[in-house]
Structure 1
Amino acid sequence: MYSHIAELDEWTDQATKQMLQNVIERKTKWDKFKRIHAIMLWSSVFLAFCLIYYFYNRIIGPYSYSFEAVFSVVFSKESHLYAFLVIFGMFGAVKVLYEKKEKAEKEYQALRSEIIDRSKDLWKEESWKKRHQVYELLKKQWDINLYHVSK
């Protein structure tokens, strides 16, 4: 359990601490997938443009007089086929990472909404007055907004 969550002694009970811990873990998982997806997307776009530039300058330009010549030059080297496979594989990985990112976001948003909806049950009596300090801690440390349900 994160040290900041463990230090919330009198404000929250153990179940609430566990819910806060879970929302933090899901937020970090979502952020991780979001970052990896962006890196992979831009890397694959950059490599695709590099491959297009290479093919245009080295193959299509000199051999533009005949489609057959372009076709034979492209398929004469194995490295060209491997480059195509790498690019298509990277775009496939981008799609898989996008789906994982969306799933992680749905899990995070569902748990965050549940905490907001159940806040009257989680913080009772005297701790209700101190819950804003927990909300501010989560907002400041992990960028988790528990004030409103909308993103």
Structure 2
Amino acid sequence: MHEFIREFEEWTDPATKQMLNNLVDRKQKFDRAKKLHLYILWTAMFTAFCFLYYVTKAILEPYSYSFGTMFSVYVSDSIHLLISVFLAGLFGAVKVLYQQKEKKEKEYQDLRKEIIDRSKDLWKDEAWKRRHQVFDKMKSQFDINLYHGSK
């Protein structure tokens, strides 16, 4: 459990602390998936741009008089095929990472909304009046908004 969550006072029971800990873990997994997706996306875009620039300068401009010649020059060098397959794999990885990012975001948002919906059950009586301290700390420390259910 995160030290920050352990420090919540006695008016936050262990089950609630565990839910908050799980929420923080899911938020961190979502953030990592988001960063990885963005990194691979920009790598794929940059690599594709560089390869298309190379193809334009090395194949399209010098052999623009004949499509057949352009095609035969392109396929005559096996590195072109390797780079094309690598780019296809890179864009496939972007798609897979996007799906994983969306799945992790849904898990995170579902748990966050569950905590918001069940907040009356999690903090009772005197704790209900002090729950805003937990919400403020979660917002400032982990950038998790527990005040509203919408993104």
Same fold (TM over 0.5): yes
Q: Deviations over 1:20-65 (max 9, x none)?
A: 0011011111111111111111111111111111000001111111
Distance 1:134 1:16 in 2: 11
Amino acid at match of 2:97: L
Deviation at 1:9, TM superposition (A): 3.0
The alignment-based identity, stated in percent, is 58
* Runs of 4+ residues deviating >2 angstroms: none
Distance 1:4 1:54 in 2: 52
TM-score normalised according to structure 2 size: 0.97
TM-score normalised according to structure 1 size: 0.97
Count matched residues.
151
Structure 2, unaligned stretches of length 5 or more? none
Please name the residue that 1:112 is paired with.
112
CA RMSD of aligned residues (A): 0.8
SS of the equivalent of 1:75 reads helix
Please name the residue that 1:133 is paired with.
133
Matches within 5 A, 1:21-36: 21-36=21-36
Distance 1:18 1:77 in 2: 58
Please name the residue that 2:149 is paired with.
149
Structure 1, unaligned stretches of length 5 or more? none
Please name the residue that 1:56 is paired with.
56
Amino acid at match of 2:10: E
Please name the residue that 2:16 is paired with.
16
Q: Deviations over 1:96-141 (max 9, x none)?
A: 0010011001101100000000001100111111111100111001
Q: Deviations over 1:79-102 (max 9, x none)?
A: 111110111101000000010011
